[in-house]
Amino acid sequence: MIEVEGLTKYYGGKRAIHDLNFRIEKGEVVGFLGLNGAGKTTTLRILACLILPSSGSVRIDGLEAGESAHEIRKLLGFLPDTPPLYDEMAVGDYLRFVAELKDVAPRDVSRRVGEALELCGLTEVRLDPISTLSHGYRQRAGIAQAIVHKPSLLILDEPTSGLDPVQIGEMRELIRRLAGDHTILLSSHILTEISQTCDRLLVIHEGLITADGTEEAIRKRVASAGSDEGIIEVELEATGSGDPGPAAKAQCEKVTGVLAARIVRSEGRRISLEIEAIGDQRAALARTLVESGHGLLRLDRRSLALESIFQRLVHPAPPPGGPISA
């Protein structure tokens, strides 16, 4: 379990993080989300006992980071933003080296290395020099070095950074596999990448926690703290001559509460639009479109897209009343 109280770090006179308070229970997978420069790496490095905070405390499994850094390092595995790999070593040799460095008992080293290779999908490249690995495999090797001593807590700084969509999917799978045996805190600046992997999200902006809760709870709180904004999807069979899309779009935009309309598909007379609106404007939109002679094929409302929720948490300011928690 991680308990963080009043965690603050200044570099020179400049604030990196200020008064962070949160808990992560055993077995949880928590996403630490923030834009570049928000303070994620600073926080993770403090938790990994690599740097000291200016003030505040961190307790990991009951141990104070300030007093028991050495013991805590044995409990945790850390993937920094640049994995600490030795290019000239073969993958398996490197993991063996890390295991020995982390005080794994000599009789257990081979087994632990084998398990880490297997879990991270590295068995077939175990004899390859690290310098020959693709970026995705380097990230996997970075995770393998973090788990080779079987830590209970894993801290991963941007594990999907620089990966292509297929590799991101594989990394997500790997993190899910690791989740059973580990408490995991992972950072990202891309909400959709971690919302599917994590039980809970901590959102950090300019060094302050602006939200703490499940994705669903954060979504609800943002909606109730701000306006009831949503997206209405409309599919219609247009009437009239010429290109019917712009006319239908203009009609939708006249409806009270509609902020913007966008044509997402136009095939012959069949048009799909996405409409951003405050409140549920489906009835008013249906009336307007039908009265204009269009055939209404579909009208659905969905809540604000995840990325918009994130934008709202980080721009322009945290919601009134302090952090959102759930």
Q: Which residues bind ligand ATP (CB under 6 A)?
A: 11, 16, 34, 36-42, 189
Strand partners, 273: 234, 263
To ligand ATP, the closest distance from the beta carbon of 207 in angstroms equals 7
To ligand ATP, the closest distance from the beta carbon of 206 in angstroms equals 8
Q: What is the DSSP letter of 106?
A: G
Closest CA to 114 of 129, 99, 128: 99
To ligand ATP, the closest distance from the beta carbon of 24 in angstroms equals 18
Q: What is the DSSP letter of 185?
A: E
Nearer to ligand ATP, 8 or 214 (CB): 8
To ligand ATP, the closest distance from the beta carbon of 87 in angstroms equals 23
Nearer to ligand ATP, 47 or 85 (CB): 47
Residue 190, SS3 per DSSP: coil
Nearer to ligand ATP, 234 or 314 (CB): 314
Nearer to ligand ATP, 122 or 211 (CB): 211
To ligand ATP, the closest distance from the beta carbon of 275 in angstroms equals 34
52: number of Cβ within 10 Å: 13
Mark 20-43 as b/e (b = at least 16 C-beta within 10 Å).
Answer: bebebeeebbbbbbbbeebbbbbb
Nearer to ligand ATP, 38 or 201 (CB): 38
Nearer to ligand ATP, 42 or 281 (CB): 42
To ligand ATP, the closest distance from the beta carbon of 8 in angstroms equals 12
Question: Looking at 45-199, which runs of residues are DSSP E strands?
Answer: 55-60, 63-64, 76-79, 153-156, 183-188
Nearer to ligand ATP, 38 or 234 (CB): 38
The whole-angstrom separation of Cα 95 and Cα 114 is 9
Residue matched to tokens 């505040």: 56
To ligand ATP, the closest distance from the beta carbon of 54 in angstroms equals 12
Q: Counting beta carbons within 10 angstroms of the beta carbon of residue 266, is it exposed (0 to 12), middle (13 to 18) or buried (19 or more)? A: middle
The whole-angstrom separation of Cα 194 and Cα 111 is 31
The whole-angstrom separation of Cα 307 and Cα 259 is 18
Nearer to ligand ATP, 11 or 86 (CB): 11
To ligand ATP, the closest distance from the beta carbon of 78 in angstroms equals 14
C-alpha 19, offset from chain centre: 22
String of DSSP letters for 269-297: TEEEEEEEEES--HHHHHHHHHHTTPEEE
Nearer to ligand ATP, 189 or 294 (CB): 189
To ligand ATP, the closest distance from the beta carbon of 194 in angstroms equals 13
What order do you get walking across the sheet with 324-325 strand by strand? 76-79, 153-156, 183-188, 29-33, 200-205, 208-213, 324-325
